[in-house]
Amino acid sequence: MYGLVNKAIEDMVCSHFGEETWQTIKQQAEIESDTFISMEAYPDDITHRLVKAASQVLGLSSSEIMQAFGEYWVQYTAQEGYGEMLEMSGDNLPEFLQNLDNLHARVGVSFPQLKPPSFECTDLEDESLSLHYRSMREGLAPMVIGLVKGLGARFDTEVDVTQMEKRSEGAEHDTFLVKYKPNESTPA
């Protein structure tokens, strides 16, 4: 994964739990580097070790850490210079989710070693859809739940995400039922 991911984990931990907690997590994860370079590719193992250490230090499950990170990632990437790209990817939650693969293709121009997941929306209804998530990486489904919730906040949309099929339990890919309801009081 790119350093941008690890920097975002660092930023999330520091902003919620402080620099000292981050140093403890980094030490427990046996990370010797002082900083991560956003545009540099790092072994996935570093990110997995950070999540595992954060889980132990913070007393949260890895799933809880990954879901919180998914929510945080949406605002973090917008602040780190990708806000305009996010703006171009959709005017509402379902439109944005349908354009995730296009977004990843545009991001891939800056990150040539990017190995993005693939997302497909099916069963589109007025207030629900099925989101199919395929990735070469395992164990990131909780992050998808957080991402969708973070996008719900971005679009001022109430969101409920339920994982319907799990690759970890033998399904071909992960599938989520996404129910959403835009906030009626927000001016158009």
Given a cut of 70, is residue 145 above it in pLDDT?
A: yes
Burial 142-157 (b: 16+ CB within 10 A, else e): bbbbbbbbbbbebbeb
Total-model pTM: 0.88
What are the tens digits of pLDDT across the range 149-182? 999 999 999 999 999 999 999 999 999 999 999 8
User: Which residues are paired to 118 by β-bridges?
Assistant: 134
- Give the pLDDT of residue 159: 97
User: Which residues are paired to 70 by β-bridges?
Assistant: none
What are the tens digits of pLDDT across the range 62-89? 999 999 999 999 999 888 877 788 888 9
**163 token code pair:** 């994982």
Q: Which residues contact 150 (CB under 8 A, 6 or more apart)?
A: 70, 71, 72, 73, 74, 75
Of the candidates 144, 146, 105, 88, the one whose C-alpha atom is nearest the C-alpha of residue 121 is 144
Q: Regarding beta strands 118-122 and 157-165, do their DSSP bridges make them parallel or antiparallel, or are they unpaired?
A: unpaired
- Give the pLDDT of residue 52: 96
- Give the pLDDT of residue 19: 96
- Give the pLDDT of residue 86: 85
Amino acid at 11: D
Of the candidates 68, 62, 34, 63, the one whose C-alpha atom is nearest the C-alpha of residue 49 is 62
Share of the chain above pLDDT 90, in %: 68
- Which has the minimum average pLDDT: 31-40, 79-88, 136-145? 79-88
Given a cut of 70, is residue 144 above it in pLDDT?
A: yes
- Give the pLDDT of residue 185: 62
Given a cut of 70, is residue 90 above it in pLDDT?
A: yes
| Contact (Cβ atoms closer than 8 angstroms) between residue 165 and residue 152 | no
Of the candidates 101, 180, 169, 179, the one whose C-alpha atom is nearest the C-alpha of residue 133 is 101
Given a cut of 70, is residue 188 above it in pLDDT?
A: no
Share of the chain above pLDDT 70, in %: 98
Confidence of residue 2 (pLDDT cuts 50, 70, 90): confident
